Structure 1
């Protein structure tokens, strides 16, 4: 068990509380628009306490990236029930929606258009994005392989379409936060069915 933080809160619990606030701050305002002072104020603690836990703004951002990156990677990795089928795309989107419904700013933290690319935080962003991209590419490849399409350019194009589609869907959802994860899954199912001519 960690040492007690301020007002009898354990260090681990205090860190979780700070990261909860910071994820929302980074998600709303982007890395460049967030200050440690603002996070401390919203968390109801002192700025020096944040620094004592995370060393610097980059350390705080790294903790946020690790939380949301693991959440998103685990969600996509778990959506394998229909791997290699057209249903796998919907399974993956549904898993992402469920994860982001639990942590509404997860996607925007990991896909901040201007994160710090240097240091441990930048490396973590790259690694989580690459892992998600690799899983998307593998899913697209399995779908084409199953259909007997071996052209590498087909694989490349479908992967590009998938990556941009997921990004567009997540951005659209951020602009329509009244939509639940279930509603988003239903909407995407309708659109995929329509696009498939079903």
Structure 2
């Protein structure tokens, strides 16, 4: 479900992603999503929470894969959502620190370009 959530949230953002679409993409029923995550918010934060692991595995100077860059972009877009703000802000600060300001910015620019295709 994390992979499916990463893709759906990356493409549609927090507000636009639907747990029903995540369930279809994951090949499970929608109740199965809620059996594993109490809310869409928890699933979104769990997907974002995987990004530090992805960053750790990057080769020096490596680029985020498309789905991860898109998710990062959508996380930045959602950081002002009151329900997400505290945890999401902290995760994004950690990611920016891990990637470095230039790579963080490059990932966001790349994701914006993907969304504008």
Aligned residues: 110
SS at match of 1:45: coil
Runs of 4+ in 1 over 6 A off after TM superposition: none
Q: Let me know the Cα RMSD of the aligned residues.
A: 2.6
1:41 aligns with 2:24: yes
* Larger Rg computed on CA atoms: 1
2:87 to 100, 120, 124: 124
2:71 to 100, 109, 125: 109
Which consecutive unaligned segments of at least 5 residues does structure 2 have? Answer: none
Q: TM-score, normalised by structure 2?
A: 0.73
Give the equivalent residue in structure 2 for 1:30. Answer: 13
- 1:75 Cα deviation from its structure 2 partner: 4.8
Which consecutive unaligned segments of at least 5 residues does structure 1 have? Answer: 1-17, 80-90, 137-162, 177-198
The answer (yes or no) to whether the contact 1:69–1:110 under 8 Å persists in 2 is no
The answer (yes or no) to whether the contact 1:26–1:109 under 8 Å persists in 2 is yes
Higher RCO, 1 or 2 (CA under 8 Å, sep at least 6)?
2
Q: TM-score, normalised by structure 1?
A: 0.47
User: In 2 relative to 1, CA 40–132 (structure 1 residues): closer, same or farther, beyond 3 Å?
Assistant: closer
- 1:130 Cα deviation from its structure 2 partner: 1.3
